[in-house]
Amino acid sequence: SPSRDRNFVILIMSVDAANRRVKSIAAHVGANASATNSFGSYRGAASGFAKSPDDVVIVSACRTPITRAKRGGLAATPADDLIAAVLQASVARGKIDVNDVGDIVVGSVLGASSQRANECRIGMFLAGFPKEVPVRTTNRQCSSGLQACADIAAGIKAGYYDMGIGAGVETMTANPMKWEGGINPRIASSSDAQNCLIPMGITSENVAEKWGITREAQDTMAARSHARAANARASGRFKAEIVPIHTKTAPDPKTGAGGGANVIVSEDDGIREGTTVQSLAKLPAVFKKGGSTTPGNASQVSDGAAAVVLARRSYAEARGLPILATWRSWAAVGCDPALMGIGPAIAIPAALSAANMTVDDVDLYEINEAFASQATYCVEKLGLDSEKVNVNGGAIALGHPLGATGARCLATLIHEMHRRGAKTGVVSMCIGSGMGMASAVSID
């Protein structure tokens, strides 16, 4: 009967999935006991990484423009429309079958938890996904978008599905940063717990003071970020990664007048062309009297979304999907909450070690510029060549939509790697309350 045939097909599919899961576990258990990473091991510049049918590959990576909160081009665009846009673009760019998507994980930091989860479900329906495809949100502060990709990579590697989407979204216009509710009095018993409540700008000042990161050094990084981003925008280098958004203009945030006009937003609008160290030096410190962190050398408050499609290599090759890069490792580590900005200096070596790499094996880095103080420290601490770091500018110029940043950085990195012919790249960021995260990718 049709019912019996259907049940038989479901049984066969379940057995096949179970077999893949068992093989995956067996491969991990049977690996060399000293191995710490199942995504591949670097064999040097000449040989790179060995290709495996079980590799986790990236078949699409895209983002919306990143725009200024309240005053930017996406200020009137709701979160579900932002996530719908990047999911729909991912389907078209990756040439994927939406029915094969095993899971969608969306990084989100500031949106109300239950509501944002529902908005992401709405967004996937608006993008044309069937109801059988699941979706959830994840929140690891500023690394949420990268954590979403790591969750999908782990799900594929574990054999639960062959393809998934890691994404991120934030509308800091609608959901500004704030603390809700009271403070637990028990934090008085733990200095680390107390330090979780230190404003991010003060942690920036702490890093600058502890390691002598001067105001001039911070303004130099900020000016370079704007100059590189302005050059990248003018030369069209962001076009391959950006999904233009059809939306409406926002009312004036002060008067409430205007707004509602149809518009297509296709470029980042926080970049300030012509920014110099001299112009930045005129801005006052805003977090600490006599401090060095200013609105000009800190990341912008922004709106935006990004999405990355990951798949098992054998699945992607069998269906002729484009393979942009291969996921090679990731690491999340903790650090002192009072110095949270140093996270990348700890996470990058951990992610590289897992892939048998060193900092010198990496062709390009995307390190989130939460603050110029911490980004400067991390570059100096790791001894990185500044010509390999944020070559198209960073969050100081582009903006930092918290939940989307990790996926945005990954998209920016991969497209620039292709443009330059680079083989290896790393994404990293610091994380509020004292953590860092990093991920390594390679191109065949």
30-65 burial, b at 16+ Cβ within 10 Å, e below that, comes to eeeeeeebbbbbbeeeeebbeeeebbbbbbbbbbbb
Alpha-carbon separation of residue 354 from 51, 106, 197, 242, 439 (angstroms)? 17, 25, 32, 31, 10
Q: Which residue has the tokens 């912008």?
A: 300
The pLDDT of residue 1: 54
For residues 374 and 407, the answer to whether their CB atoms sit within 8 Å is no
pLDDT at 357: 98
Tokens linked to 287: 């977090």
Active site residues: 142, 400, 430
- Compute the C-alpha angle 197/430/328, nearest 5°: 145
pLDDT at residue number 308: 98
pTM: 0.91
Q: Which pLDDT score, from 0 to 100, does residue 7 have? A: 52
Report the helix count and the strand count for the chain, using DSSP H and E.
13, 12
CA distance 389 to 432: 22
Separation CA 293–CA 377 (nearest Å)? 14
Count other C-beta atoms under 10 Å from residue 9's C-beta.
10
Please report the pLDDT score of residue 16 as a whole number: 56
Strands 302-312 and 56-63: antiparallel
pLDDT in tens, the chain (444 residues): 545 544 544 444 455 555 555 455 444 444 443 345 789 999 999 999 999 999 999 999 999 999 999 999 999 999 999 999 999 999 999 999 999 999 999 999 999 989 999 999 999 999 999 999 999 999 999 999 999 999 999 999 999 999 999 999 999 999 999 898 899 999 999 999 999 999 999 999 999 999 999 999 999 999 999 999 999 999 999 999 999 999 999 998 888 888 899 999 999 999 999 999 999 999 999 999 999 999 999 999 999 999 999 999 999 999 999 999 999 999 999 999 999 999 999 999 999 999 999 999 999 999 999 999 999 999 999 999 999 999 999 999 999 999 999 999 999 999 999 999 999 999 999 999 999 999 999 999
Look at residue 434 and give its three-state secondary structure: coil
Q: How many Cβ atoms are within 10 Å of 199's Cβ, its own excluded?
A: 12
**CA 364/CA 382 separation, integer angstroms:** 14
Looking at residue 36, its pLDDT comes to 56
Query: How would DSSP label each residue in 279-302?
Result: HHTTSPPSSSTT----TTSBPPPE
